[in-house]
Structure 1
């Protein structure tokens, strides 16, 4: 018996659902913007439904793509940025490698050793890769965490060395700006991880739709992934 499709029970066809999720992750759109674009194409969907699609299918699509993901580099740039979730500031731990691949993201209520440890454990267990160099700011929590989890890595804290990840934060902030606010830590994690997934896809860090033109690669990749879930 074939596995049940993730789209089973949904009123709209997979191409509509995946198209809406792709638009939301790719462009600086709100859920209402996506609702309007769908209505223009004869598909009447409430923006709350679009939100539910994004929350439901973004992790499934990213998970289906993990087998096609390129192995990250051995130099990781790690830093935290800030986002508002339901009016409260949250920390977002992020890392990129020397090729611009987003390693992982983690939304946390705290900026402490526990959060840093969770972030590195997630990244190391998911990717099965150990970096030889980790570049951070001078936050005092990192040395002990790195000594525990990646003792073989060189911990680099030289001034300006962490510019790649600090610059990359701006891509996330640019995407979050049109949104009407993140409501919970859980939904924020899905959206921020989905943004990282889209960044990596557009930057060519997945072996997906490699024969498609650059302009159609993301759409082709999402169509392929829809078949896998």
Structure 2
């Protein structure tokens, strides 16, 4: 039912790594809430409260996201950038997201503004992590113009809303999770959750429509092997 392993236990935790990593995987990959994961584990004879599941997700989701981001191959040099509104406590915030030409999420950033300073902060983080892109596709928000010109002067900046449908679609999983969670409780919580959620889904969603059934099963097996390897590297 859970990955068979000889992993040592985590100091200060009653349950083994395999159960904790399974709970984190189920929460993110299957779009479940903490109560759903609690029931899923209970059916398997494991009594864990939803609050414990929530703590596991918050604590170890970042670990898996860091590992995935660290080991991912160099992204496609064509980037799509976009912003989406999220309402937290009745206040409007902006979720900045970037994906590459293959649809994999590069990074996200929750900010209170949608201006040139916010665009520079987000785009600068991307360039620091991945280097300069070849092409940058954005909507017609003028705030992108100066940051792209300053930080990636050789990039072809295409500001056209119709060219950015790929990233418009990438916001859908966020809307789905936002609804399941009953909205985000704070900007910090949204940043922490979405940073992990997008990376974990990048690993376990290998664009099935482009793969044959055997190729998809092979990609899925690889993803589980990588996940188990990261499970062994979990630290308390």
Give your verdict on TM over 0.5.
yes
Per-residue Cα deviation, 1:186-207 (whole angstroms, up to 9, x for no partner): 12112111221123102449xx
Distance in 2, matches of 1:152 and 1:107, equals 27
Residue of structure 1 aligned with 2:29, choices 22, 26, 30:
26
For 1:60-99, list aligned pairs within 5 A. 60-99=63-102
| Equivalence for 1:220 | 225
| Equivalence for 1:108 | 111
* TM-score normalised by L of structure 1: 0.87
| Equivalence for 1:133 | 135
Counterparts in 2 of 1:41 and 1:6: CA distance versus 1, 3 Å: closer
Counterparts in 2 of 1:116 and 1:159: CA distance versus 1, 3 Å: closer
| Equivalence for 2:5 | none
Distance in 2, matches of 1:17 and 1:114, equals 39
Per-residue Cα deviation, 1:157-198 (whole angstroms, up to 9, x for no partner): 134011111121113222332113311211211211122112
| Equivalence for 1:148 | 150
**Structure 2 stretches lacking a partner, 5+ long:** 1-7, 208-214
Offset of 1:65 from its aligned partner? 2.7
RMSD of aligned Cα (Å):
2.3
Matched residue SS, 1:110: coil
How many residues matched?
Answer: 220
Greater fraction of residues in helix: 2
Q: Between the two structures, name the one with larger relative contact order (CA 8 Å, sep ≥ 6).
A: 1
**Structure 1 stretches lacking a partner, 5+ long:** none
